[in-house]
Amino acid sequence: MRILSLGAGVQSSTLALMIKNGEVPMVDAAIFADTGAEPRGVYAYLDWLESVLPFPVYRVQKDDGLLENIKQSVAGGRFAGAPFFTRSPKDGRPAMLHRQCTKEFKIEPIVKKVRELVGLKKGQRGPRGKILATQYIGISWDEVQRMKPSLVPWIVHEWPLIDRRMTRADCLRWIGDRGYPLPSKSSCTFCPYHDAAAWRDIKLNDQESWDQAVEVDRMIRTGDRGTVDKLYVHRSLKPIEEVDFRNAEDAGQMSMFTEECEGMCGV
């Protein structure tokens, strides 16, 4: 079985359309792991992809999604696992919380769906030394450091864009040259991995996503389960609406597109 991990961002959407056009071998299905916190434009693009792709697209979600999980976490529930910023108790400098969200809300729901598609029963182990599924991951040549092997031994990852040396810019060119609508960047609206350019873009061009990021940023201020200090979505440890994105200071915000993020978010 061949599966496409579909994030409905630039790279995985390019891959989906290359498969449709016969430039990459056909898949049995695509799987979109929904955090419940993507910008509206990503869901709209996914709707469009579903209408043109010649293979089924399954949307999967852990519980009620990451956004709901964060709400429950600040109310005393289980730690949400998003890598928010806080003050390090060691030296008082900004530090990121441990990130579990990619694994819990992206990787594991996809593996669970692949298990179902290949016919593994609940609790049944995959066979030793046998590959049951190949999973295409839409990482581009400029993000080669994000390539990671599968968490389970019976799924093998392949990276067709890397094989073709295609960068993110090449993907946008490929889509534009064929007259398809251009996808936008996929990632949770409040993702602390946004770099300055991404925050600026959201603030200027996507009011709804910006409002959601501000809402989450305010919501987490009292801390998350197990944290002792205030939390922020931005490394300046300021409310996001107070950050001046023209500041040189802001240029220090890490980007998920340069930091490894297991290649499952933002593609």
Residues forming the site for ligand SF4 (CB under 6 A): 35, 66, 82, 99, 101-102, 105-106, 187-188, 191, 193, 261, 265
Cβ-based nearer residue to ligand SF4, 100 or 236: 100
Determine the Cα–Cα distance for residues 216 and 232; give it in Å rounded to an integer: 9
Angle at which helix 196-205 crosses helix 207-219, to 10 degrees, equals 120
267 closest CA partner among 7, 30, 59, 16: 7
**Amino acid identity for residue 89 in this structure:** P
Cβ-based nearer residue to ligand SF4, 61 or 134: 61
For residue 50, the minimal CB distance to ligand SF4 (Å) is 21
Residues contacting 207, CB < 8 A, separation 6+: none
Cβ-based nearer residue to ligand SF4, 100 or 134: 100
- What is the per-residue burial (b if ≥16 Cβ within 10 Å, else e) of 131-149? ebbbbbbbbbbbbeebeee
For residue 106, the minimal CB distance to ligand SF4 (Å) is 6
For residue 41, the minimal CB distance to ligand SF4 (Å) is 15
For residue 135, the minimal CB distance to ligand SF4 (Å) is 17
Cβ-based nearer residue to ligand SF4, 23 or 208: 208
